[in-house]
Amino acid sequence: MVHQNAGLLDQRMAVEWVRDNIEAFGGDPSRITLFGESAGGISVDLYTYAWTKDPIINGFIAMSGTALLRVASVTPGNFSAWYGVSKKLGCGGEEKGKDTLACMQKQKFEDILASFKGQTDFSSPNPFGVYPDNQTAWHDYFELGRKGQFIKRVRHWSFAKRLTC
């Protein structure tokens, strides 16, 4: 099965790259801040729950978007929109398994965006949204927040944490 939240895993890979290369640009790997606004804020906040054991990031700014706003808009197991796009780009569908993701990762973003045109199997307002997999996203952020199961840093602020802590 393809990991539905591949974009969140890509975000982590980007953070690791920054950690490993920031000194070459005059930066400090112990002072990395992740910032996002709106959907980016949701993504930043999702990160604070996903990588509690190895955060890398020192500061978080989730502006106008939190994990609490993330609603599972994709039914787990319903990948029709994803496979519709992957087939249009010649990457196959479910039958190709992980090869589909590998092929899609090689596509130009312009081609991926263009492949959305005419797509009719979008089963929800956001068919490519994050869904709970208990690795990168969860069902109940209120409960996780109540239990303190998120990355805690001095420079961490988000609306979600203000409500739950």
Q: Which is more confident, 161 or 54? A: 54
* pLDDT tens readout for residues 118-153: 766 555 556 677 778 888 988 888 889 899 999 986
Residue 70 three-state SS: coil
* pLDDT tens readout for residues 34-89: 999 988 998 999 999 999 999 999 999 988 888 887 654 445 556 777 888 899 99
Q: Within 13 Å and on the Cβ side, how many CA atoms surround 122?
A: 14
Give dist(CA 160, CA 44) in Å, integer.
11
Q: pTM for this one?
A: 0.74
Give dist(CA 92, CA 18) in Å, integer.
33
- Enumerate the active-site residues: 38
pLDDT in the model for residue 37: 93
